[in-house]
């Protein structure tokens, strides 16, 4: 439906995504947002529409991939990003539309039985060396290029690039130990070639790794192709810039066809680039990662400080006077729970007209619960954002 | 989607369903929940998440069957329980997966025209006698066993048990009087056998009932098979106990594969069994019927007293310290309306972590409207319950 209603104009939308923003009551019965001193944000909240957003579905804790798709107006259940692709994006591998990505594990095999699915959780350092060794020796099989990506501990990623490769294949990981690795069984014609290439990779890897004590075998999982997701520009007719420090977020935005400049690991550099490039884009997404990390660590006060730090950037971001400004998170990461959670995420939408605001509001979970937007799916709220930017036509006459 | 995310653990979920719990303002402008003195529940409400749940869809008044399915996380529109099956469960008939259940009416026929579709609403006593007479004489046709169930006034139930029976058949009830009964027209191959058996039953019944003045014919409606609903354990990997006094609720839970002990008509016995068996289950559902009955009777103060009675059981239920405790209803039965209604039902969810509570809340419709859960579908809230019990994995990485 949405594609048919899109109109172009020169209104600008800026979306600041503070990763893992939402919390639950913890210290003094407060959430991190309730505890933080964030004058700029709270002042803005009094002039904005508030609400709570759910990335996927009630009760479902999302990963960052589906949560971000939802923020950009894509229903993440309709547009599923499979595991191999997510993993490749997560470690910053460049992917093309027809590539096949696979999660790999180093494992220990003996008498053709997997006796340790994680090769004793070998160190990341050791794992890096082995991936280097494999990538030097296995670069191409027939017409298929092979790329190796490094992960934490026993994990790595393989990307296949070539003509006519399918992804309709099972995992080789038997999931429990003391079983033989599973045979790759292609479920359609195109996947036969993929199975043939992967079997060669498994065989050659085993030879190369045969002298290893622990990591003498590779198990393959989540064999997958890029999902068939309409590109952001094609869907919304907005030129989009993605400003993020971490590979996962850049990778996902690149998949949607957004511009994703390489700006290093400093958030300040994102803001600097934003100020320089503002005029060249219709939609600018800015990602702040540190809040999520502190949440995952269970560091309540650390997350509070990160929220306060983000508060200090608000005047600079607003100095460009965007037509619509959104401050929200991709999902909640309450430090009380030390992990992503299902809890709906606070959202603030400022726009120049069409806003219901509350002069007494602050920007936190409980204020947002009473906000004008109610509790909604993230991808639904993107339509409201488009409408506030006057980028949606009337539906029906 | 949900099946893929389920994880097993030892967290316990207890759900107390107070039938027809919700009301609308009536005496002194209050609902039954607002009027009742219920200290235990209100104290718990201050430590819990509140909200309102809709069993089926906005504006739709549900029967108890779909309303309960929704409470257990099944979308009742996706998993429809047809009328014959509901009727059989409602009068406590034991059903097997392949059985065909049919609602029957005693009717008056003259010159092959139905002149009274309800046989003058014959008394329940008279009806029971006639069902006994039929069940003595019609027990088996070919390889199909036939079971008869007694209902109120002119109503009864027939269950067919045998190989290869379909349920794709129309009703014989012409719906208006002075018409001939409708011919059974099977719409698929399997239903031909069902039609053949039912035609024999109709013919033999007519002969047996020919001397009756009013109830000299049987009309058949809602010919149906058990729905193809995934069993509760298969779907959620939780061992479930259903504690209910009334057949409808036990029948529905048995259909989902829950343990449904026969504990008589005293609610106290359910609680006694709960206290004894608590350790043996992951999910325990407890049903309280009397509130719904008082609502149906339009007895506001009676319903208030039943709510107060339930309040007195709360400490015993909580004495087991469940990880997640839910207090809600299957649907609303406002005594002001003397019937089930569409109004969303108050829900209280207590859990050991991840809760947004309101120290000033009470457990009633208006407090729940301001609660953290908002207004949601009952089956969606089940996902939140699973998440609070840490029984759902993250969706995507």
Give the closest of A61, A76, A81 to B394, CB-based: A61
Question: How far apart (Å, rounded) are the C-alpha atoms in residues B324 and B329?
Answer: 16
* pLDDT tens digits for range B340-376: 999 999 999 999 999 999 999 999 999 999 999 999 9
Instruction: Check CB contact of B75 with chain A, cutoff 8 Å.
Output: no
Q: Give burial (CB, 10 Å; 0-12/13-18/19+) of A124.
A: middle
The pLDDT mean for chain B works out to: 96
Confidence of residue B187 (pLDDT cuts 50, 70, 90): very high
A342 Cα to chain B: minimum distance (Å): 7
Backbone angles phi, psi at A264, to 5 degrees: 75, -165
Instruction: Check CB contact of A103 with chain B, cutoff 8 Å.
Output: no
C-alpha of B117 from chain center: 26
Instruction: Check CB contact of A91 with chain B, cutoff 8 Å.
Output: no
Cβ-contact A373, A347 below 8 angstroms = yes
DSSP E strand boundaries for chain B: 13-18, 49-54, 100-110, 113-116, 140-141, 144-150, 155-161, 217-225, 240-243, 283-288, 324-328, 345-351, 375-377
C-alpha of A264 from chain center: 18
Instruction: Check CB contact of A334 with chain B, cutoff 8 Å.
Output: yes
Strands B113-116 and B140-141: unpaired
Confidence of residue A124 (pLDDT cuts 50, 70, 90): very high
At residue A85, does pLDDT exceed 70?
yes
Instruction: Check CB contact of A81 with chain B, cutoff 8 Å.
Output: yes
Three-class DSSP category at B279: helix
* pLDDT tens digits for range B284-342: 999 999 999 999 999 999 999 999 999 999 999 999 999 999 999 999 999 999 999 99
Confidence of residue B247 (pLDDT cuts 50, 70, 90): confident
Tell me what pLDDT residue A82 has: 86
Give the closest of A59, A334, A337 to B380, CB-based: A59
At residue A352, does pLDDT exceed 80?
yes
Question: How far apart (Å, rounded) are the C-alpha atoms in residues A374 and A353?
Answer: 19
Instruction: Check CB contact of B395 with chain A, cutoff 8 Å.
Output: yes
CATH class held by domain B2-78+229-388: alpha beta
DSSP B223-243: EEEPP-PPPHHHHH---EEEE
Question: How far apart (Å, rounded) are the C-alpha atoms in residues A219 and B146?
Answer: 56
Q: What is the CATH number of domain A85-225?
A: 3.30.70.2130
Question: Which of A52, A58, A370 to substitute to test the interface with B, most B CBs within 10 Å?
Answer: A58
DSSP B171-209: -S--SSSSBPPPPP--SSHHHHHHHHHHHHHHHHHHHHH
Cβ-contact B227, B252 below 8 angstroms = no
Instruction: Check CB contact of A27 with chain B, cutoff 8 Å.
Output: no
Question: How far apart (Å, rounded) are the C-alpha atoms in residues B336 and B298?
Answer: 6
* Both tokens assigned to A288: 């702040």
Strands B13-18 and B324-328: parallel
At residue B176, does pLDDT exceed 80?
yes
The pLDDT mean for chain A works out to: 95
Q: Which chain A residue is nearest to residue B358, measuring alpha carbons?
A: A366
Question: How far apart (Å, rounded) are the C-alpha atoms in residues A172 and A181?
Answer: 5
* pLDDT tens digits for range B188-222: 999 999 999 999 999 999 999 999 999 999 999 99
3-state helix, strand, coil split of chain B in percent (to 5) is 35, 20, 45
Specify the higher pLDDT residue, B132 or A86. Answer: B132
Mean pLDDT to the nearest integer, A280-295 = 97
Confidence of residue A233 (pLDDT cuts 50, 70, 90): very high
Residues spanned by CATH 3.40.720.10 within chain B? Answer: 2-78+229-388
3-state helix, strand, coil split of chain A in percent (to 5) is 35, 20, 45
Question: How far apart (Å, rounded) are the C-alpha atoms in residues B56 and B235?
Answer: 20
A208-to-A111, A138, A197, B71 alpha-carbon distances in Å: 17, 10, 16, 55
At residue B3, does pLDDT exceed 80?
yes
Q: Which of residues 121-160 of B touch A (CB under 8 A)?
A: none
At residue A326, does pLDDT exceed 90?
yes
CA angle B312, B317, B323 (to 5 degrees): 140
Using an 8 Å CB-CB cutoff, list chain B residues near A369. 356, 372, 374
> In chain A, how many H helices and how many E strands?
14, 13
Cβ-contact A63, A333 below 8 angstroms = no
* Both tokens assigned to A57: 């579905």
Residues spanned by CATH 3.30.70.2130 within chain B? Answer: 85-225
Nearest to B236 by CA among B66, B9, B1, B3: B3
Nearest to B16 by CA among B277, B316, B220, B236: B316
Question: Which of A68, A81, A342, A368 to substitute to test the interface with B, most B CBs within 10 Å?
Answer: A342
Confidence of residue A87 (pLDDT cuts 50, 70, 90): confident
Helix (H) or strand (E) holding A328: strand A324-328
Strands B13-18 and B283-288: parallel
**Are B354 and A366 a contacting pair at CB < 8 A?**
no
Tell me what pLDDT residue A152 has: 85
Confidence of residue B397 (pLDDT cuts 50, 70, 90): low
C-alpha of B71 from chain center: 10
DSSP A172-195: S--SSSSBPPPPP--SSHHHHHHH
At residue A46, does pLDDT exceed 70?
yes
Tell me what pLDDT residue B118 has: 94
Cβ-contact B325, B337 below 8 angstroms = no
**Are B354 and A340 a contacting pair at CB < 8 A?**
no
Residues spanned by CATH 3.40.720.10 within chain A? Answer: 2-80+229-388
A196 Cα to chain B: minimum distance (Å): 28
Mean pLDDT to the nearest integer, B270-285 = 98
Tell me what pLDDT residue A2 has: 85
* Both tokens assigned to A266: 């400093």
Predicted complex ipTM: 0.87
* Both tokens assigned to B201: 């039953």
Question: How far apart (Å, rounded) are the C-alpha atoms in residues A62 and A53?
Answer: 12
Backbone angles phi, psi at A42, to 5 degrees: -65, -35
Give the closest of A24, A90, A365 to B397, CB-based: A90
CATH class held by domain A2-80+229-388: alpha beta
Cβ-contact A366, B356 below 8 angstroms = yes
Three-class DSSP category at B256: coil
- Going across the sheet that includes A345-351, the strands are A240-243, A283-288, A13-18, A324-328, A345-351, A49-54, A375-377
């Amino acid at each position: 439906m949405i594609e048919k209603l899109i109109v172009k104009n020169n209104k600008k939308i800026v979306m600041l995504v503070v990763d893992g923003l939402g919390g639950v009551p913890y210290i003094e019965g407060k959430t991190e947002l309730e505890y933080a001193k964030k004058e700029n944000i709270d002042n803005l909240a009094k002039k904005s529409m508030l609400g709570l957003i759910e990335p996927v579905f009630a009760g479902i804790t999302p990963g960052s991939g589906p949560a971000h798709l939802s923020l950009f107006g894509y229903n993440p259940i309709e547009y599923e990003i499979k595991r191999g692709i997510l993993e490749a994006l997560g470690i910053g591998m460049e992917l093309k539309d027809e590539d096949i990505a696979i999660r790999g594990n180093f494992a220990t095999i003996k008498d053709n039985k997997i006796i340790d699915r994680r090769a004793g959780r070998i160190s990341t350092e050791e794992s890096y060396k082995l991936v280097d060794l494999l990538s030097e020796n296995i670069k191409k099989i027939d017409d298929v290029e092979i790329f190796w990506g490094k992960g934490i501990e026993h994990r790595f990623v393989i990307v296949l690039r070539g003509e006519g490769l399918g992804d309709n294949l099972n995992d080789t990981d038997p999931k429990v130990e003391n079983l033989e690795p599973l045979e790759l069984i292609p479920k359609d014609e195109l996947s036969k070639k993929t199975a043939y290439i992967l079997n060669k990779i498994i065989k050659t890897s085993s030879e190369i790794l045969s002298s290893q004590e622990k990591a003498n075998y590779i198990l393959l999982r989540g064999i997958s192709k890029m999902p068939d997701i309409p590109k952001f520009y094609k869907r919304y007719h907005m030129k989009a810039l993605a400003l993020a420090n971490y590979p996962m977020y850049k990778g996902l935005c690149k998949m949607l066809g957004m511009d994703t400049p390489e700006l290093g690991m400093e958030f300040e550099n994102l803001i600097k680039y934003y100020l320089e490039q503002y005029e060249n884009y219709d939609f600018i997404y800015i990602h702040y990662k540190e809040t999520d990390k502190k949440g995952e660590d269970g560091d309540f006060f650390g997350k509070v400080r990160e929220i306060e730090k983000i508060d200090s950037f608000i005047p600079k971001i607003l100095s460009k006077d965007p037509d619509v400004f959104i401050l929200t998170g991709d999902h909640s990461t309450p430090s009380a729970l030390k992990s992503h959670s299902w809890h709906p995420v606070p959202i603030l939408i400022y726009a120049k007209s069409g806003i219901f605001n509350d002069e007494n509001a602050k920007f936190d979970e409980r204020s947002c619960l009473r906000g004008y937007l109610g509790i909604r799916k993230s991808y639904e709220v993107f339509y409201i954002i488009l409408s506030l930017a006057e980028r949606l036509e009337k539906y029906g006459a």
